């Protein structure tokens, strides 16, 4: 059995029929990780002991024909989810030795479902970055081309997935951090509706935008994982209490007659011609499945980047104030006084991009600037959300189809000198976070350099069923998602 290309669905089938045990599967991935991680740097912390224990427990459940589709499935978890007693660094020197005394709701639910956690994946520091280069633990490399970024901030999860180091992975998405790396590594990545999945135990970057989601080989696999992750949590007041539909059962909906909105603003001059071409092909597949393409406009799209880079840093500047060297995390040596303790702890513990965003956020919230920046950004944010609501309502759309990124994976170091060009890498994904709607990125081909291209499907709030079933329909009609980098890594 080639574990490197296994889908979650296939793995669950193999486990249920005892074709393979969870311990065998787990060992196979641990072996692959040992071999490939040194060149990819996808994992920050491995937990072979915990993984094998979980696998043994899963095998016992499987032997009794108990458990869920996730029982015994080896997963890779972004190192932003707090895992009890297992180091959680958030890609930062600040938390390089942090062992949480509690478990995030997401990992708690996955563990309860019987999943096996192989380890914690690399990421941009505090999820601030689009290339995984801001990690204190070094950049992750893209399995399709080791000189290139896998995207960010969930770059470790994306690379682990693409290189076949796990059956599925969990990421988080604040401005595109699941979808952009999914597109750049040729996997499927889902950002659910804001509030669909609990944020409890996720180290906060921007509280009003952060959302956890699955990174998988297929839309079907994403549905299985979302099923286990989603739903009300008394520990997160922003988590929605709407009932969770049966995503797996709902995934086989036909595309016949479904209206797909094509927003003109996403197909401007910034879009690389090869990406554009690939998206044209996706449109044809959907037309072939009986869907109806509808040109639409999302007029406030152009304001997304500045709006995001006010709101996200503002929240981050406040969220990251707790890293003061007093109760946990990094503390500077021999502080002279309180100010020195704060200043040196934070100067040493945070990297450059995190400091840049803390300063940006502090500035936009300052008295005299608040109205011009933060309040204005919140107003624009409402207009962006209204753009989506109006388009769905007036055109009776099922989903909206866009490219996920303007270009394929860029070279490591290519955009480091110019933060704004790095920020533009998320231009098609950020609107979705600002509006709080769900979106999925799916692989749809390769450019002439052999690098994966992704497209994005956006749904109405809480309509994950629409994007999952549209994604599944596409993957039934095409085979891009089955292509892996193979021996490249």
Q: Which residues bind other proteins (CB under 8 A)?
A: 80-82, 88, 90, 95, 98, 100-102, 104, 199-204, 206-208, 234-238, 314-315, 317-318, 320-322, 324, 326-328, 338, 342, 362, 365-367, 370, 374
Least CB distance to other proteins at residue 295 (A)? 35
Least CB distance to other proteins at residue 365 (A)? 4
Q: Which is nearer to other proteins, 276 or 382 (CB)?
A: 382
Least CB distance to other proteins at residue 353 (A)? 18
Least CB distance to other proteins at residue 119 (A)? 18
Query: One of 92, 104, 153, 469 is an active-site residue; which one?
Result: 153
Least CB distance to other proteins at residue 382 (A)? 13
Query: One of 21, 22, 78, 120 is an active-site residue; which one?
Result: 78
Query: One of 92, 130, 177, 441 is an active-site residue; which one?
Result: 177
Q: Which is nearer to other proteins, 363 or 446 (CB)?
A: 363
Residue 153 known to be catalytic: yes
Q: Which is nearer to other proteins, 370 or 393 (CB)?
A: 370
Least CB distance to other proteins at residue 104 (A)? 6
Q: Which is nearer to other proteins, 60 or 375 (CB)?
A: 375
Least CB distance to other proteins at residue 322 (A)? 4
Q: Which is nearer to other proteins, 144 or 205 (CB)?
A: 205
* Euclidean distance between CA atoms 466 and 260, whole angstroms: 11
Q: Which is nearer to other proteins, 99 or 488 (CB)?
A: 99
* Euclidean distance between CA atoms 60 and 406, whole angstroms: 47
Q: Which is nearer to other proteins, 104 or 402 (CB)?
A: 104
Residues serving a catalytic function are 78, 153, 177
């Amino acid at each position: 059995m080639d574990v490197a290309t296994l889908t979650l669905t296939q793995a669950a089938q193999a486990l249920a029929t005892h074709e393979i045990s969870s311990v065998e599967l787990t060992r196979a991935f641990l072996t692959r990780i040992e071999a490939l991680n040194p060149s990819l740097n996808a994992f920050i912390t491995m937990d072979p002991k915990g993984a094998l224990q979980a696998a043994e427990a899963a095998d016992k459940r499987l032997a009794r024909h108990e458990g869920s589709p996730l029982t015994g499935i080896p997963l890779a978890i972004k190192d932003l989810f707090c895992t009890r007693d297992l180091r959680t660094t958030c890609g930062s020197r600040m938390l390089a030795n942090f062992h949480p005394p509690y478990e995030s709701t997401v990992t708690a639910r996955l563990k309860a479902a019987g999943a096996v956690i192989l380890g914690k994946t690399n990421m941009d520091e505090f999820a601030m970055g689009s290339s995984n280069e801001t990690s204190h633990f070094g950049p992750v490399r893209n399995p399709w081309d080791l000189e290139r970024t896998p995207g960010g901030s969930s770059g470790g999860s994306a690379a682990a997935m693409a290189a076949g180091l796990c059956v599925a992975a969990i990421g988080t998405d604040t401005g595109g951090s699941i979808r952009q790396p999914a597109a750049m590594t040729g996997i499927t990545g889902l950002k659910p509706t804001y509030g669909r999945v609990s944020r409890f135990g996720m180290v906060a970057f921007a509280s009003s935008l952060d959302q956890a989601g699955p990174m998988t080989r297929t839309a079907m696999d994403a549905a299985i994982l979302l099923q286990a992750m989603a739903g009300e949590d008394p520990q997160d007041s922003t988590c929605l209490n709407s009932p969770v539909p049966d995503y797996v059962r709902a995934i086989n909906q036909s595309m016949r007659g479904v209206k797909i909105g094509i927003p003109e603003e996403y197909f401007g001059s910034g879009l690389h011609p090869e990406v554009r071409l690939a998206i044209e092909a996706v449109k044809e597949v959907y037309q072939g499945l009986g869907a109806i393409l509808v040109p639409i406009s999302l007029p406030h799209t152009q304001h997304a980047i500045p709006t995001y880079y006010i709101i996200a840093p503002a929240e981050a500047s406040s969220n990251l104030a707790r890293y003061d060297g007093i109760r946990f995390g990094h503390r500077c040596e021999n502080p002279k006084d309180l100010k020195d303790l704060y200043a040196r702890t934070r100067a040493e513990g945070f990297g450059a991009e995190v400091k840049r965003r803390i300063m940006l956020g502090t500035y936009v919230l300052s008295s005299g600037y608040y109205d011009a920046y933060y309040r204005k950004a919140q107003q624009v944010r409402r207009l962006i959300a209204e753009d989506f609501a109006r388009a769905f309502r007036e055109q009776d759309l099922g989903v909206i189809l866009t490219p996920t990124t303007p270009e394929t994976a860029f070279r490591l170091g290519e955009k480091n000198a110019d933060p704004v060009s790095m920020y533009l890498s998320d231009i098609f994904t950020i609107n979705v976070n600002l509006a709080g709607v769900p979106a999925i990125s799916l692989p749809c081909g390769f450019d002439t350099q052999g690098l994966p291209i992704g497209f994005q499907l956006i749904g109405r709030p809480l309509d994950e069923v629409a994007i999952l079933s549209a994604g599944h329909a596409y993957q039934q009609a095409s085979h891009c998602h089955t292509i892996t980098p193979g021996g490249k890594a």
